[in-house]
Amino acid sequence: PDQSPHKPHPPAFAGSRLRSQEHLNDPWVVSQPYPLSSKLKEIYWIERGNLRWRLRVVREIANSEFCQDYVLESGSRVLKVENRVDWQSNNVLVKAAFAFNVESDRLTYEIPCGVIERPTKPQSAREKAKWEVPALRWGELGEDDYGVSLLNDCKYGYDFDGDRLRLTLLRGSNWPDPNADRGIHYFTYAIYPHFGSWRDAGTVRRGYELNLPLLPRVIDGIKWEEKEKFLPEKSCFLNLQAENLILMAFKQSEDCEQKWILRFYEAEGKEVEFELGSSLDLREIREVNLLEDSSVNSGEVEGRSLDILPWKVVSLVAKNSGKSQFGN
């Protein structure tokens, strides 16, 4: 990041810790923490190359082993923590805790098709009772000029403990199932410090990138002279033309093979213009409801563009002629 005097320093953190606590037997109750000790077993480098650094840390907590790889890739501002856990603990709950050097009056968490805010200093009994927050791909501590996002790929319980943003990882309940969650677990969470707000920094996109990474695939058996028959050198599958419009579904209609459904939502609380770009020869675009019924909505989308209200979930239907740059 730019370290010029005209910008604040990026948010820093004092490091991450695994915090374990005694946990009630009931799997539906998350109690306030009673810290337990952990034992550091190993720490060593796995990779120190030009493209990626990987540091491995192995800890033991309450008869369970945590093998964590801290991964930083070249050109990336996201520090990933890849976990392999042999979970064998009873009546224990483990959280990842991060002491960020950020002051803010609010926390922001991703929920389905939107966000929810919580105060960092709850005042009323009602606010204090909401200390564990269910969220999807990220939680954020920050203001409009800088902040830090805690991303995850499958762990959905967050809380804020005075100066630490925490993520619930595992818990060892033994009722109604005495062997619940025992065994090997794989999961990843990540730290994303940034200038600007979570909107400016593209935190929503960073969360999706962690959960749905781009996976290259090499296809064997393709002859070079045959490639031009079905794969153009450059093309556009779907483009919604706005970073804050998130595609949720692209599928065939339930009642017609030549109709396709696009479903997306506005993710940053800002009004935006949708304009469809595609090489799939999609025509006669109409707005429909979640049941794919267009009778209760307006007519055809004029000029393939549409004004989208903040946080709105939109479903469109389009016809396909069967011809495109990708073949039939």
> What does the domain layout of the chain look like in residue ranges?
13-211, 228-320
pLDDT of residue 305: 83
What CATH number does the domain located at 228-320 have? 2.60.40.2220
**pLDDT at 153 > cutoff 70:** yes
State the Cα–Cα distance between residues 297 and 294, nearest whole angstrom: 5
Q: Is the pLDDT of residue 9 over 90?
A: no
Mean pLDDT in residue range 179-192: 95
Residue 160 has pLDDT above 50, yes or no: yes
Residue of 296 and 140 predicted with greater confidence:
140
pTM for this entry:
0.86
Coil, strand or helix at 169: strand
CATH H superfamily, domain 13-211: Golgi alpha-mannosidase II; domain 4 (2.70.98.30)
Q: What would the mean pLDDT of 154-170 be, rounded to a whole number?
A: 92
Q: Which of 132, 131, 192 is nearest to 168 (CA)?
A: 132
Top mean-pLDDT range of 7-21, 65-79, 174-188, 205-219:
65-79
| 228-320 shares the fold of 13-211 | no
pLDDT at residue 274, rounded to an integer = 92
Over 50: is that where the pLDDT of 3 sits?
Answer: no
The C-alpha atoms of residue 313 and residue 307 are separated, in whole angstroms, by 12
Mean pLDDT over all residues of the chain? 85
DSSP 302: G
pLDDT at site 156? 94
